[in-house]
């Protein structure tokens, strides 16, 4: 999608508040060995014979991954309904092809040197431009889009969301293993993707659309970017959709937890917009260095650790910070009818508990793949 900042601004000015779009990424696996299968093109071609998947299945750089997108929904409930149907169709299709799908932030033992990039002009250009960075990125995530009307307002929401990203990452943490080892981190995916890709991680605040557009125009003139998809920040204004997109989170092993996390993110975006409408003070934004400190704590300790409340100059348990976040976004959740039921222990905590109990990393992942199939299909099957 070429960079046309005037058109992007127009899309935000005409955007509809609080529409929702969900994106979930899955690893394509051999169901017996659980090795990655580099068969995206084959799976994608099969999706084209399905009227729903033809519009919702997509690639994300590597050939061992497939993404499904709900499409734009008027409400969060509608987005879940749409995504359930897409999940059902995708899981049935890949099972019929003798494949399985996994949903964690990383594959616990796959060698990135064996990874293949999708063979399209777009991804071949990225492979050429990024080199090792593109090769190394065998990771899986989930993204949430929410419509935000007004270009300046969308930038203000992105600015406000910056400081929430570490906690949202901690909630989502689901990638403690890599190279058949416990990394000691709760989300090693973040170290692989967010720390290596350019124009990634937490952006500095822009303040308004004009400042944002001037920076992007400079990147374009200098040859750094040629399209908006090269802006990989963990929160960004999406030029084509007129949405604020949050991209910080690990893929979720359980289908209901993916929806709960998405609901929390959507409520936070909406609450940030509502606060802006009531005259929220932009001078209260946290500094980059402060957010970065909490980002590391989220990567290292996830929901088992502590974050820093910089406004009070004090540490706070991540679980207590989550309670505060839920209280803050309650007005938006109530207005939009979003229910958020998060688990007591997230994916990384459960995986490490199993490892500590003597379960091998291979069996932890095998159980996770089985859990993915059970919950992403049972979650929809109960409502069919």
In terms of Cα–Cα distance, which of 280, 262, 249 is closest to 160?
280
End-to-end CA distance of the chain: 36
Check residue 125 and give its pLDDT.
87
Give yes or no for a contact between 43 and 174, defined as CB atoms under 8 angstroms apart: no
Question: In whole angstroms, what is the distance from residue 122 CA to residue 306 CA?
Answer: 40
Q: List the domain range (segments joined by +) for residue 95.
A: 5-381
In terms of Cα–Cα distance, which of 126, 320, 338, 132 is closest to 232?
126
Q: State the total domains in the chain.
A: 1
Question: Secondary structure of 139-206 in the HEC alphabet?
Answer: ECEEEEEEECCCHHHHHHHHHHHHHHHHHHHHHHCCECEECCEECCCCEHHHHHHCCCCCCEECCCCC
* Sign (positive or negative) of CA dihedral 220, 225, 229, 231: negative
**Structural tokens at position 382:** 């109960």
User: What is the CATH classification number for the domain harbouring 241?
Assistant: 3.30.590.20
Check residue 3 and give its pLDDT.
83
Question: Secondary structure of the chain in the HEC alphabet?
Answer: CECCHHHHHHHHHCCCCCCEEEEEEEEEECCCCCCECCCHHHHHHHHCCCCCHHHHEEEECEEEEEEEECCCECCHHHHHHHHHHHHHHHHHHHHHCCCEEECCCECCCCCHHHCCECCCHHHHHHHHHHCHHHHHCCECEEEEEEECCCHHHHHHHHHHHHHHHHHHHHHHCCECEECCEECCCCEHHHHHHCCCCCCEECCCCCCCHHHHHHHHHHHHHCCCCCEHHHCEECEEEECCCCEEEEEEEECCCCHHHHHHHHHHHHHHHHHHHHHHHCCCCHHHCCCHHHHHHHHHHHHHHHHHCEEEECCCCEEEEHHHHHHHHHHHCHHHHHHHCCCCCCCCCCHHHHHHHHHHCCCCHHHHHHHHHHHHHHHHHHHHHCCC
Check residue 121 and give its pLDDT.
87
Q: How many CB atoms lie within 10 A of CB 371?
A: 17
Question: In whole angstroms, what is the distance from residue 44 CA to residue 259 CA?
Answer: 24
Q: Which residues contact 260 (CB under 8 A, 6 or more apart)?
A: 340, 341, 342, 343
In terms of Cα–Cα distance, which of 353, 363, 351, 347 is closest to 34?
363
Residues of the chain with pLDDT under 70: 1-2, 281-283, 379-384
User: Per residue in 69-102, is it b (16+ CB within 10 Å) or e — as a string?
Assistant: bbbbbeebeebbebbbbbbbbbbebbeeeebbbb
Question: In whole angstroms, what is the distance from residue 158 CA to residue 161 CA?
Answer: 5
Give yes or no for a contact between 249 and 168, defined as CB atoms under 8 angstroms apart: yes
Check residue 2 and give its pLDDT.
64
Check residue 282 and give its pLDDT.
55
């Amino acid at each position: 999608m070429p960079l046309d900042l005037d058109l992007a601004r127009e899309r935000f000015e005409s955007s509809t508040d609080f529409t929702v779009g969900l994106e979930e990424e899955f690893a394509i696996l051999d169901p017996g060995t659980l090795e990655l299968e580099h068969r995206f093109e084959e799976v994608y071609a099969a999706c084209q014979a399905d009227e729903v998947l033809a519009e919702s299945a997509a690639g994300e750089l590597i050939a061992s991954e497939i993404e499904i997108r709900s499409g734009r929904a008027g409400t969060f409930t509608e987005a879940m309904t749409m995504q359930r149907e897409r999940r059902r169709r995708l899981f049935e299709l890949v099972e019929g092809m003798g494949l399985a799908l996994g949903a964690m932030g990383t594959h616990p033992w796959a060698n990135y040197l064996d990874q293949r990039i999708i063979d399209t002009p777009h991804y071949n250009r990225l492979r050429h431009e990024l080199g090792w960075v593109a090769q190394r990125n065998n990771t899986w995530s989930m993204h949430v889009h929410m419509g935000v009307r007004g270009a300046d307002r969308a930038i203000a929401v992105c600015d406000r969301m910056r400081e929430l990203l570490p906690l949202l990452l901690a909630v989502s943490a689901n990638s403690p293993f890599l190279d058949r080892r416990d990394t000691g981190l709760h989300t090693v995916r973040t170290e692989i993707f967010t720390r290596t890709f350019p124009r990634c991680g937490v952006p500095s605040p822009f303040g308004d659309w004009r400042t944002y557009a001037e920076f992007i125009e400079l990147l374009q003139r200098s040859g750094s970017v040629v399209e908006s998809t090269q802006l990989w920040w963990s929160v960004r204004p999406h030029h084509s959709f007129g949405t604020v997109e949050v991209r910080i989170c690990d893929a979720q092993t359980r289908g209901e937890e993916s929806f709960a996390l998405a609901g929390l993110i959507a409520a936070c975006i909406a609450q940030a917009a509502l606060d802006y409408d009531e005259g929220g003070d932009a001078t209260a934004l946290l500094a980059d260095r402060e957010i970065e400190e909490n980002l590391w704590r989220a990567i290292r300790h996830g929901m088992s650790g502590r974050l820093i409340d910089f406004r009070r100059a004090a540490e706070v348990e991540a679980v207590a910070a989550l309670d505060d976040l839920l209280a803050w976004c309650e007005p938006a959740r109530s207005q939009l009818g979003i229910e958020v039921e998060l688990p007591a222990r997230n994916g990384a905590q459960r995986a490490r508990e199993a490892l500590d109990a003597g379960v091998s990393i291979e069996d932890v992942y095998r159980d996770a793949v089985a859990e993915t199939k059970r919950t992403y299909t049972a979650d929809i099957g109960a409502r069919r």
